[in-house]
Every structure is written in structure tokens, then in C-alpha cells.
Structure 1
């Protein structure tokens, strides 16, 4: 090795040491971030995570056992602070609500679909977000508006019942989740445009939304922007998909009908004798317990949408800078034996006379489960979501007897798409009551 090679090696070692001391989140530098796994120079834990070839959730579970309730991962240029305990989640999102209510920097692809972080779920905490949320709550999910739009839910649920009956006759079974997802999508789209939308068009919109969700999942350039030029085709695909999305929605916007003032649809045949009504679900405590236990045992996601702080702050004695991703791991809340008796068992009764009595799913008093988030960024339509699930479940159970499909028994194995779903979709045999 000549003198030049030795000099280059020394410079590299000095640079690595400086990086480890002052930029690495695991190098015990002056940032005082939570502890975390040692990373590689420049890329941190990114390739260590990729090379494990496991879903990120399993890596987080292992790291929680080693580093505790709060820890840090350096994923390329992004710093992730992962919070896993009920107490710290409540302290951050509820007690320190405004401080932890912002969003981190978005990737170029996400910026396309969030219109430059101008959507209610992606906007940074501030005047724009407050205006968007206020408009959404007052015009879309206030109790009066929800009641006025009951005809939308009646229309969609009637179509749902007809569809699953038809599918059962044709196939001998029904695919439960795909039908429920289509119905919920139908309700939301009809609410947005105040009109009946054909099922064919709903399916088209649902397919585009699914493409958008998959397109915006984290990718390598999100953590190492220097690699972005290698993914130019992805940016092009995102722009084409955005164009397709707008082409699908613009005709609906232009032809939007006004909401029916008294919530009545003159062409509707709803309200027939024997049909479960929305108000009936309020008198079904066991139904509500089943829905809550489903949210507890199978939350829609193992993480909330990424949060960020509005300013440098403290949590559990550690410094949380304003430019890091704060990730709240929700799965452990439902698996913690200190909070739930037999947490791995599906026991709706716990919400009637057990450790689930009085549990607040919004997390305001204590965070034991949070299927809709918590704090300032909680889903503003969470009550509407609960109403939809209660109504659909009640009508399905009231109209049919449900049996497992003999050729496809239930398989609880999870897979990870935009949300957590069953790896093998649930199929069931239905018999009219």
C-alpha cells in the first residue's frame, strides 16, 4: 500500500468516525436520540433491514425486546424514532398533541398524490391543516350531515346484500372482505359526490385507489434520494396514474348532485319490514363488542401514519428533533398481557364485563387500542367508520347464516399491503335465514 492509498484510508476512517459521532443515531452523539441498532456508514440500518427479507413489523418486534419502549433506526437519510408503549404514545399524541401532530417530509411520488402536501392526511400541522379538518368535520361528518346521508348507506348496503347473494348462487361461496371493501368504498364515493354511482364505476375507482396506495408505499429512493435518478420510470408511472385518477373523478365532480335535504331518496325501497336499521345497531351491545374486539385483535395497520414534531422536543428523556419520522407501533398495544387478559384470544365478552369495559377507542383517557389513531391526527371520520362496520355486520348476520367454506378454511395468516389483510381472503358459505 503506497502513501496515497494510506492517506485515503485515513481520511475515510476519520470521516466514518465523524459520521458515527455526530450523524449516526446509534453513535451516542450529542443528539441524545433513543438507542438503536448499530448501522452502516451513510446507509444506517437500511440494508440491514432489506437483507433480512422479513416484513418490517417483525424486525420492530425483535428490536423492541432488545431496546425497549422507544428506539431509533437510521434508514438512509431518514431517522425513524419508533414508539411502542401505551404510556409514551399517550404522552406524545394526547398530552403533547400539538407538538407531535405534524407530518414528515414526503417523497417525490407521495407529493404528486398529496398535491404538494395539501391533503388533510398529509398536510403539516398548521393553518392549512386546521382549515381542511374544520371543513371536513363541519361539512361531512357532523351528526346532522351523517343522518341526512343515511340514504347513501341504505343504497350501498342493499347493493351489498344483493351482490353477496348473487355471488353465493354463482360460486357456492362469497369472498367476504372484497365485498365489504367495495361496499365501504361505494358509501364513501357516494357521500363525496352526493349521488348514486354505478357499481362498475365504483370498481374502477377502487382499482385506481389500490394502485395509488401501492405506488406510494416506501421505496429505496425515499431513504436514499441520491438513487432517485435510477427510478425515473416510477415517477413517470406516478404522474400517469395521477392523470388516470383525475380523469376518473372529474366527470363525477362536474355532474355532482346536491345532497337530499331531508336525507330521503324518493326511488329507495328501504325501510321494509325486517331490515336492520342504523338505529337498531345502538341496541346491540354484543355486536358492538364483536366490532371492538375485531379492532383490538386485528387492527387495520401495525403503525399509524408517520408523525413529526413541530419543534425539537423531549420524550422519555430523549431528544426528538423536528426533522425525524416518529412512528407509533400500535400492534403491541393489543398484545400486551399487562393490559389485556389472554390478549391472543378473540373474546368479545371482554368489552361487556372484562378488561375492555369503558375502553375509549379514541385513546383520550388511556391508549389501549387505537384503530383510528389518537390525538390531533385521529381520523376525523372514526365514528362514521364504526357506524359502517356495525351496520354491515348486523345486516349480514341478520339476513344469512354464515358457515366456513369447506374448500378454503379460514387462515388468519397476515400479509402486508397498504393495510394488514388476510394472506388468503376469507371465503364463507351463506344460507338465507
Structure 2
């Protein structure tokens, strides 16, 4: 009996040894996947990443130097193919867009908030995604709709200017990020629900949606869904937050539905101020995707939250980074001010068509996107079938992560990439650069191909109006003895670790 036990133990040892060797070389992956760091059994590279106690982007930068422009990491049950090369990114997203246009499986926590992936960002490439995206584009970002809703931006930005003036003069300085988030969030809430609501309610919605973004960011349970039962506390927290989100937004949906059903005219003294058909939610009431049928209140909450969250974070972050450089470099700020004055005058009203005639403002914004991309990765993509990229096999359903920050740092693409120099987009290596990546990938603030952010033009409009209005009205200066700190941190988007504070002086 002892010999049999020894024999079984020996076989088990040999099996474990061979299994370990297989995992350490391939992470349990097919042989033709891109190369990558050796992993551990079951968890792959997950524990190695956790033990480094650094943000994932710093690990990716180092692995790129070792394994090249495309490599693989096995993060628990997730097979992640990370692509960092501009030509490979262009090939995948633009030249072969449909092949890489899907999304991988969502984590249990993300599914709580997406109602089974019923969202433009997370839906798999197919009929549901096409229906939702087409409806969004038609109802929210056509030139006719953008023009029809220009009064919303005018109202919100006027309030913004009054608020920062009051804060700046009463306290001696102001914090920009919180003000920009509040303003952009108020615009998007009105675009979605056709409603003007109090700043207190806007702040509450903004806070809840920020928590939603943070709780749905990648966490340990996402990489090991087989152990979901061990993460009951995280799931309980997610469901409690979803309940708060519904309690906050469902009343707006119900009020808007009642307004639409009664066929009332908007009253500026009431909550509902947009005419019937002008609010995004109006289009969702009658929408029936073929794979789901009529949308309920939960789906409407998810779709409107998606618009508000994505538009608020990226736009407010970009405005803050742009204003940081205007505060640091007064020469750039003065040049922008002179352009604004030359087009609308010192006290002229800046209209939406005016910012389209400001090339230096456009250059400042593009340089901000290049120097401070809202995110270092695009949202996860997935191939719809087994395919090849860069000579390697990409399995269907694997997480394909496009690391786009390296592109904007690459000295082979950009001269002096660490410098903030808007002039490069007027006469330099930025002339003719396409921010959508259609012609070539040199920067991708909005993604590219089938999954490009459909509202990227609207986002640039909000950013342009805010910066132009603020620079026209005030001179922005650093707080004495407290210069701005450009250190970064991650909060869904890449933001300033210490929010920008500045002194404002009225221009006479």
C-alpha cells in the first residue's frame, strides 16, 4: 500500500511540475498568443501585479520595453492582450474595425449597473448596440439637436461664470475641477431629462455616478469570477449603490414621462424646460430593441447615467489640465486671450460658432488631449472571432486592451513629447492630426473605429466654450506660494492629484 501511495504521490508531483512549467511559460494560454511575463497557476500574473503596489499603467510601460508592442498577461481568469503600437491599434480599430468591435464578458458587479450590458459602451457588437447607438446619435448629437439645445449650454455656463467669480473674489482663489464638473453635469442632466434642477440635486447625482464609476473599475473579484461567492460584501455594496442610483434618477424619468404624456408646453418656472422630443429620455420611452423589447426604468437609468458620467468626467478633466498650463504659462494664456478678443471683442458674447473660428483655442485643446489623455487605456475591446494581429493569435472574447498613452509620449511620433506646446498643431508635427484616428493613430482621446465615443464633437464644444469664456473674463494666476502641482492620479480618468486652485483677476 505504501508503494502505491508513493507511486500516486510521484505521479501527482510530476503532473503538478509539468502544469507549473506550462503556466510559468504561457500562463495556460495558447502557444501563438503574444509573449508575456511568466505567470502562476490559476492566478496567472494577478498576484505579481498586486504585490508591486503600483498602478497598472506603470507596469505596462515596463512590460512594453521587455516584450514589445503587443504582449499578453493572464490576470486570473482574464486573458489580456495589450496593444501599444500606433500601427497595430489603427489596424485593429480602423482597418479591421468590425472584427475588434465587440466587448468582453462583464464582471458580476458591472452587470448590476448595466442591466445585462444594456448600454452603448458595454453592449456586445450586434443588434442591441446598433439600436442604442443609432438612437443616441439621432436624438442627441445631430447638428439640428445640438443647435436646438444651445440655450442649455448658455444657461449653465452663465451660472458657472457667476459661481467662479463669487468663489474667486470671496475666498481669494477657487478650485476649478469641482466647478467644471457641476457645470457640465448640469448641461448633461438637462440634455438627458429636459429638466433644470437645483445645484444640490446635481451634486448628489454627480456624487452617486462618480461612485458608480469607481465601484465598476477593475477590482480583484472581476479577475476571479469563479470565486464570486467569496466577494459577497463587494456585491452587497454594489447593489446598495445601484439602489441609490435608481432612487435618485427614477423620479426624473417619471416626471418627464408624465410631462410627455400630458403634452404640456415647457414652463421656465417649472422643472421640465425642454420641449417634448428635445430630451434624450423622450426617445427611450418608445425604443424597443429587437433583442430586449421595450426599455424599462432601469435601462433608462443606465443609458442616461452613461451619458452623464462619460461626458462629465472627460470634459471636466480636460478643462482642468488645459487651465493648469494656462496658469503655468502666462504667454500661452495671453496668446489665447488675444485670439478671443480679436474674434468677439473684450466683452462680446462667445457663441458656439465663434469657438470654431479660434485655431489657437483648438490647438490648446488638442495639445491637452495629447499631453493629458483622459485615460491611458481605451475601454476593453474583444474580437468577435479568433483572429490575428501582429502575427499572433487573438482569441475571441479575450480582453484586448489598447494602451494609447504611449502613442502621445512616443518621440518617434512627437518632437519633445513631454513639452506642452499648442503651436505644434498650427505649424509642426501636429498639423492635420486626426483626433478620431481614422487616417492614422497619433492620439486617441475618444477611441477610434466602430466604438469611438459618439459624442466627441459635443465634448469638444463644451470644453471650448468653458475655456474661452473663462479666459475672456478673467486672468488666471497661480495662488501665491502654492504653485500648481501637475502630479497625476487615477479616478476613472487621469486627473490632477491635487485639484487646480487659481487666483482670478477681472479683465478690464
TM-score range, shorter-chain basis? over 0.9
Superposition pairs of residues 137-216 of structure 1, within 5 angstroms: 137-216=137-216
Say whether 1:282 aligns with 2:283. no
Superposition pairs of residues 337-416 of structure 1, within 5 angstroms: 337-416=411-490
Equivalent-residue separation in structure 1 for 2:25 and 2:204 (angstroms): 44
SS at match of 2:348: coil
Residue-by-residue CA offset, 1:116-157 (whole Å, 9 max, x unaligned):
111111000000000000000001111110010001101110
Shift of 1:229: 2.0
Note if contact 2:478-2:503 (Cα within 8 Å) is conserved in structure 1.
yes
SS at match of 2:475: strand
Once the two structures are overlaid, the 10-residue window that deviates more, 159-168 or 122-131, is 159-168
Alignment TM-score, normalising by the size of structure 1: 0.94
Question: Any stretches of 5+ residues in structure 2 without a counterpart?
Answer: 257-271, 279-345
Shift of 1:306: 0.5
For the structure 1 residues 196 and 71, does the alpha-carbon distance in structure 2 shift closer, same or farther, using more than 3 Å as the test? same
Say whether 1:102 aligns with 2:97. no
Note if contact 2:20-2:40 (Cα within 8 Å) is conserved in structure 1.
no
Shift of 1:273: 6.3
Choose which of 265, 274, 291 in structure 2 pairs with 1:259. 274
Shift of 1:207: 0.3
SS at match of 2:489: strand
Equivalent-residue separation in structure 2 for 1:389 and 1:26 (angstroms): 45
Equivalent-residue separation in structure 2 for 1:138 and 1:335 (angstroms): 36
For the structure 1 residues 247 and 238, does the alpha-carbon distance in structure 2 shift closer, same or farther, using more than 3 Å as the test? same
**Which residue is equivalent to 1:334?**
408
**Which residue is equivalent to 2:330?**
none
Equivalent-residue separation in structure 1 for 2:236 and 2:179 (angstroms): 32
Shift of 1:15: 4.1
Once the two structures are overlaid, the 10-residue window that deviates more, 28-37 or 323-332, is 28-37
Equivalent-residue separation in structure 1 for 2:27 and 2:232 (angstroms): 34
Structure showing the higher helix proportion among its residues? 2
SS at match of 1:82: strand
Residue-by-residue CA offset, 1:405-432 (whole Å, 9 max, x unaligned):
1243111111111110111111100011
SS at match of 2:466: helix
**Which residue is equivalent to 2:8?**
7
Shift of 1:12: 4.4
Shift of 1:294: 0.2
Equivalent-residue separation in structure 1 for 2:138 and 2:46 (angstroms): 42
SS at match of 1:255: helix
Residue-by-residue CA offset, 1:60-84 (whole Å, 9 max, x unaligned):
0000000000000000110100000
Equivalent-residue separation in structure 2 for 1:426 and 1:25 (angstroms): 46
Choose which of 354, 362, 368 in structure 2 pairs with 1:294. 368
SS at match of 1:32: coil
Superposition pairs of residues 78-157 of structure 1, within 5 angstroms: 78-157=78-157
Shift of 1:262: 12
Equivalent-residue separation in structure 2 for 1:226 and 1:273 (angstroms): 62
Give aligned pairs, total.
Answer: 423
Shift of 1:206: 0.2
SS at match of 1:349: helix
Note if contact 1:25-1:74 (Cα within 8 Å) is conserved in structure 2.
no
**Which residue is equivalent to 1:266?**
none
Question: Any stretches of 5+ residues in structure 1 without a counterpart?
Answer: 264-271
Once the two structures are overlaid, the 10-residue window that deviates more, 230-239 or 72-81, is 230-239
Equivalent-residue separation in structure 1 for 2:96 and 2:214 (angstroms): 32
Say whether 1:428 aligns with 2:502. yes
Shift of 1:24: 6.9
Equivalent-residue separation in structure 1 for 2:120 and 2:205 (angstroms): 20
Choose which of 387, 391, 406 in structure 2 pairs with 1:313. 387
Say whether 1:33 aligns with 2:33. yes
Note if contact 1:25-1:73 (Cα within 8 Å) is conserved in structure 2.
no
SS at match of 1:240: helix
Alignment TM-score, normalising by the size of structure 2: 0.80
Residue-by-residue CA offset, 1:72-99 (whole Å, 9 max, x unaligned):
0000110100000100000000011011
For the structure 1 residues 27 and 282, does the alpha-carbon distance in structure 2 shift closer, same or farther, using more than 3 Å as the test? closer
Note if contact 1:25-1:33 (Cα within 8 Å) is conserved in structure 2.
no
**Which residue is equivalent to 2:54?**
54
Equivalent-residue separation in structure 1 for 2:457 and 2:484 (angstroms): 29
SS at match of 1:99: helix
Note if contact 1:25-1:35 (Cα within 8 Å) is conserved in structure 2.
no
Residue-by-residue CA offset, 1:278-319 (whole Å, 9 max, x unaligned):
111111110110000000000000000001011110000100
Residue-by-residue CA offset, 1:262-281 (whole Å, 9 max, x unaligned):
99xxxxxxxx9622211111
Equivalent-residue separation in structure 1 for 2:417 and 2:73 (angstroms): 28
For the structure 1 residues 432 and 260, does the alpha-carbon distance in structure 2 shift closer, same or farther, using more than 3 Å as the test? farther
